A = this chain, B = another copy of it.
Amino acid sequence: MAPKSTAEASMEALYRIFTVPEAPDSTLGKIEKHLSENLEGFLSSHIVTQERPLHEIERDFAYSDIPEQPEFVSDHTDKLLKKLVAQSVHTASPRFIGHMTSALPYFLLPLAKLMVGLNQNLVKIETSKAFTPMERQTLGMMHHLVYGEQPAFYERWMHNADHSLGAFCSGGTIANISALWVARNNLLAPRDDFAGVAAEGLAAGLSAYGYKRLVVLVSERGHYSLSKAADVLGIGRKNFVSVPADENNRIKLDALREIAAQVTAEGGRVMAIVGIAGTTETGHIDPLREMAAVAKEYAAHFHVDAAWGGATLMSSTYRKLLDGIELADSLTIDAHKQMYVPMGAGMVLFKDPALVNAIEHHAEYVIRRGSKDLGSHTMEGSRPGMAMLVYSALHVMGRTGYELLIDTGIERAKKFATMIEQQDDFEVISYPELCLLTYRYVPSEIKAALVNATAEQVAAVTPHLNILTRFIQKTQRENGRSFVSRTKLNPVKYHREGTLVFRTVLANPLTTAEMLAEIIAEQREIAASAPSLRQHILDAAKRCGLTA
């Protein structure tokens, strides 16, 4: 749209952007063509590899005035390519194995454009019509994957106005908050003279039920969104109690039982126990069946955060790792993680479709009583039709397609673990249960000695190892050829000393063994480029008697 001199001309120009399509040979037209014909090529050629420092990038996004005059679409697009796209992250790269964002199947791109063009709003039937039953069915299929109820169950509940098998939402955080909101409202439900926590608030609820506090129990490996949920819901982060994990990053059941008993004995109420099916940092799965039994004992809501690992249920081989998940009262799954759908496709599922009645709400102009408007049981209001992308992905890939992706991901991670073990200067810190593993670089001179190190010796060398790990990870990211993330773990074998590790997620089907070997080689090279950091480690090892 070009700046014009008169109001009429401006109006005409404005109408044009709503009525006249972008020409195929326009800048945007060419981008679209490139995206459609060769997404990886587009991303590789437009995203620069060498990282610019953030403070430099910020200079391109410095003014705070909304531009007064319109800009030609082509001019704007050129700038967008140079300033924004060039400095974005190539999350689809098979060498970008640091986070849970992977390559996307091609067919989802045009479908996403279709979804945007249709611009449905899923809060109500009037702005979504068939998208509402489509979303309900998609939730039904995911519910069936987890809970495997009989056909009659789905016939009865899937399209029921007053019930809900779950909800789509923007992501796992909203899903987790929604699940715990439902748990809180069902625990402090209306009774006698008390109108329920939804109406009267949390303080009145605790007092009506005679509880000193509500407590949520989760392993120390739980996602930070869970403590955020405790804050949002008024429960308080202190009442979100972290239970120690064992050497395999799974919740310690004896500790769980002990804490639950203690909370109860002191007048608190265990509101919910949260199991993790695929921890964000190590990919491990809690003993769900046993946790469900503890939850039952305390009449607590059992929520499973399967945001990342839930897709594993589609694998006949690995589904058993999530044994007991069908006992969850509620469940979080992110389709934008291991279901290969673009960002923004979270889901919460409820075993009992009546559970959501505790958060039901209505208005006069939408989500009226008795309507099938999805908005009456969701935390969000207006929402896009992302469910369509999940629906299509489930159909085009099928269960067996997902199974292949999941299985090869886990096998890839296991092979990578073996590859790391074969190096004399790298060590695996957490082995893959799903397709996630952590490791680090350790100078070969001390690798063997570390196995039998005392707590004091570990404490002496670890801070120096951590500095090197951070240096390698940041340098590799800045080099731009590949990316692993990093996190801090407290490995049992290292006396729970805070240990920085490389964190890798091997979900991208295009990641090859050669690429993984290159990543290790580059990390070794970076380590060699910092001889003083390395020397500090060796000196510390000598000083504490770890090495002679």
- Are A120 and B89 in contact (CB-based, < 8 A)? yes
With known contacts A106-B20, A128-B88, A64–B151 Cβ distance under 8 A: yes
Of the listed stretches A201-209, A321-329, A450-458, name the one at the interface; the rest are far from the partner chain. A201-209
Docked pose: A281 CA to B384 CA in angstroms? 21
- Are B383 and A70 in contact (CB-based, < 8 A)? no
Considering only residues 54-112 of chain A, those with a C-beta below 8 Å from chain B are 54-55, 57-58, 60-73, 76-77, 80, 83-89, 91-92, 98-99, 101, 103-112
| A318 CB-CB contact with B under 8 Å | no
A160 to chain B, nearest CB (A): 10
- Are A509 and B15 in contact (CB-based, < 8 A)? yes
Q: Point out the residues of chain B lying under 8 angstroms from A77, CB to CB.
A: 111
A130 to chain B, nearest CB (A): 3
Closest to A90 in B: B118
Considering only residues 142-161 of chain A, those with a C-beta below 8 Å from chain B are 142-145, 149, 151, 154-155, 158-159
Docked pose: A77 CA to B204 CA in angstroms? 52
With known contacts A225-B381, A404-B11, A485-B126, A106–B397 Cβ distance under 8 A: no
With known contacts A171-B381, A238-B200, A365-B487, A88–B118 Cβ distance under 8 A: yes
Docked pose: A225 CA to B174 CA in angstroms? 15
* Most chain B CB neighbours (cut-off 10 Å) among A134, A172, A195: A134
- Are B344 and A69 in contact (CB-based, < 8 A)? no
Q: Which single member of B84, B232, B238, B281 contacts A388 (CB below 8 Å)?
A: B84
- Are B364 and A76 in contact (CB-based, < 8 A)? no
- Are B105 and A126 in contact (CB-based, < 8 A)? no
Q: Point out the residues of chain B lying under 8 angstroms from A106, CB to CB.
A: 17-22
Q: Which single member of B67, B126, B173 contacts A98 (CB below 8 Å)?
A: B126
- Are B66 and A399 in contact (CB-based, < 8 A)? yes
Considering only residues 113-143 of chain A, those with a C-beta below 8 Å from chain B are 113-114, 116-121, 125-134, 136-137, 140-143
Closest to A198 in B: B231
Q: Point out the residues of chain B lying under 8 angstroms from A109, CB to CB.
A: 113, 116-117
Considering only residues 1-21 of chain A, those with a C-beta below 8 Å from chain B are 1, 3, 7, 10-11, 13-15, 17-21
Closest to A81 in B: B114
- Identical chains in the assembly: 2
With known contacts A85-B114, A89-B126, A126-B477, A54–B372 Cβ distance under 8 A: yes
- Are B380 and A71 in contact (CB-based, < 8 A)? no
Of the listed stretches A31-39, A250-258, A296-304, A420-428, name the one at the interface; the rest are far from the partner chain. A31-39
Q: Which single member of B24, B112, B130 contacts A57 (CB below 8 Å)?
A: B130
| A306 CB-CB contact with B under 8 Å | no
Docked pose: A118 CA to B385 CA in angstroms? 19
A431 to chain B, nearest CB (A): 18
| A234 CB-CB contact with B under 8 Å | yes
A507 to chain B, nearest CB (A): 12
Considering only residues 513-545 of chain A, those with a C-beta below 8 Å from chain B are none
Closest to A490 in B: B364
A to B CB contacts below 8 Å, 10 in the list: A7-B404, A32-B114, A64-B149, A66-B398, A76-B396, A84-B130, A104-B119, A171-B380, A200-B239, A342-B384
Question: Could you list 6 further interchain pairs (A-B, Cβ under 8 angstroms) beyond the known A67-B399, A92-B117?
Answer: A7-B404, A14-B401, A64-B151, A198-B237, A203-B206, A232-B379
